[in-house]
Amino acid sequence: MTAKPHVESYYADTTHTVPDHPRLIGDESADVCVVGGGFTGLSTALNLAENGYDVVLLEAARIGWGASGRNGGQIGGGFSTSMSNIRRWVGREDAKRLFDFCEEAKAIIAERAEKHGIDCELTWSHLQAANKPSHLDELKRAQNDLEQEYGYTGTTLLDRESVREHVESDAYAGGLYDPGGGHLHPLNYCLGLARAAREAGVRIYEDTAVTRYDSGASPAVRTADGSVKARFLVFATNAYIDNLVPSMRRKIMPVGTYIGATRPLGENRARKLLPSNAAVADSNFVLDYYRRSKDHRLLFGGRVSYSTIMPPNLPRAMRAKMLKVFPQLEDQVFEYTWGGYVAITVERTPHLGRIGDTIYFAQGFSGHGVALTGIAGKIMAEAIMGQAERFDIMARLPHTTFPGGRLFRTPTLALAMMWYRMRDYLP
């Protein structure tokens, strides 16, 4: 096996099993060929295989090598943009359907974990923290919107004092607690999905990058040592599409995000930091997010970059961000720091679409991929099986091409993000 190993991280060092899959050598055929071995691709492949389809899945590195095996593990509700934006784009009726998709996405995680015995530390508890009073006002409006438009009840609006029931920090003006959100060990969940897909009959190949594809009535993909002919292709590569499909690449921007894991804090200290075991995300545009691990570490994420260059002094910079929230951790350093890329879209909503009649894709989950990838894979599978109504609703979401072309899109985005970052510092 010569595939790239998983990036060095807390997740990679705490996986249960990491089976090897062969490299594709020779020519294969299938009903469906899925390109990408993360949450989206595995969800698509598993749903299709469970319905009797012959599926081949190709992964350029290893299963869960990209964002699916490196992310913050947070299961949030809704989209990265507001539901009021969604209503403005697609109307009230389809916005309600899209919200229901988001709720189904969370249910899919619970169902898959139980059905397939995936030990991924799945926990239901989530807090959206307000960094300043204006954020708390926004959270109150969001709570009212969820209740009145979508019938989503059970969230609790918290003031500065009551938020400490969930996080031992003076950094917040309040928050919105949602017992319907949660967190998990993403790499173990991803590997569990792969096991379930194999058991359902999916043929998985690692270390098998697709170099080009043929579209039309009889699509096919080519690799260095083989090919796959299929009735349908699915591209589930997200931030790692590179230049394989330029029309997809123009709709997303890969953004680097970073996480640190402390040494084990001990059960009592870890529980005191996060008493309700909530996954926490703050309300800044460039947000901090964190949670407890099963072995009582703090996993703390934050900071972004818009280039392919790792930020200098990452452990020190990440520790400084952590200490602004938890100054009581002054005695702690990170045992692990790592990063990876997520794909964002201009509108901060997933981008699902077709290329002709035989190629489907999903990308650009914009920070909500732990949950939304599962429903995206299910909806793409439904469309391939001839039931495209739900796919078409998701595909109605508008998606603007990033400005600037290949040469200038990154500096253009960085300038725009600088404006939003400056707003984070305003009262």
The domains located in the chain, with CATH, are 10-70+187-250+347-407 (3.50.50.60)
Nearest CA among 319, 337, 338 for reference residue 329: 319
Q: Which helix (H) or strand (E) holds 273?
A: helix 267-273
How far is the CA of 253 from the CAs of 70, 108, 278, 387, in angstroms?
Answer: 18, 27, 29, 30
335: phi > 0 → left, psi -120 to 50 → alpha, else beta; which?
alpha
- Between 363 and 313, residue with greater pLDDT: 363
Length of the chain measured in residues: 427
Per residue in 10-33, pLDDT (tens digit) is 999 999 888 899 999 999 999 999
Cα angle, residue 302 at apex, residues 297 and 304 outer, rounded to 5° = 145
Per-residue pLDDT, averaged over 322-341, amounts to 96
* Structure confidence by residue, pLDDT tens digits, 100-157: 999 999 999 999 999 999 999 999 999 999 999 999 999 999 999 999 999 999 999 9
> Which pLDDT score is estimated for 420?
45
Residue 2 pLDDT level (bands cut at 50, 70, 90): low
CA-CA distance, 369 to 11, in Å (whole number)? 17
How sure is the predictor about 311, in pLDDT bands with cuts at 50, 70 and 90?
A: confident
pLDDT value at 304 more than 60: yes
Question: Position of tokens 């913050």?
Answer: 72
Specify the pLDDT at position 411. Answer: 54
Give me the pLDDT at residue 422, please.
Answer: 47
- State residue 55 phi and psi, 5-degree precision: -125, 135
How much is the pLDDT for 18? 85
The Cα–Cα gap between 114 and 321 comes to: 36
Q: Are strands 253-262 and 279-282 parallel, antiparallel or unpaired?
A: unpaired
Q: Enter the tokens of residue 221.
A: 């993909």
Q: Given a cut of 70, is residue 225 above it in pLDDT?
A: yes
Average pLDDT over residues 419-424: 48
Q: List, as one string, the DSSP characters of 347-396.
A: TSS-EEEEETTTEEEEE--TT-HHHHHHHHHHHHHHHHTT--HHHHHHHT
Q: Could you report the per-residue pLDDT of 360-399, keeping only the tens digit for each?
A: 999 999 999 999 999 999 999 999 999 999 999 999 999 9
* Residue 74 confidence (pLDDT) above 80: yes
pLDDT at 312: 79
Residue of 286 and 98 predicted with greater confidence = 98
Give the model's pLDDT for residue 305. 79
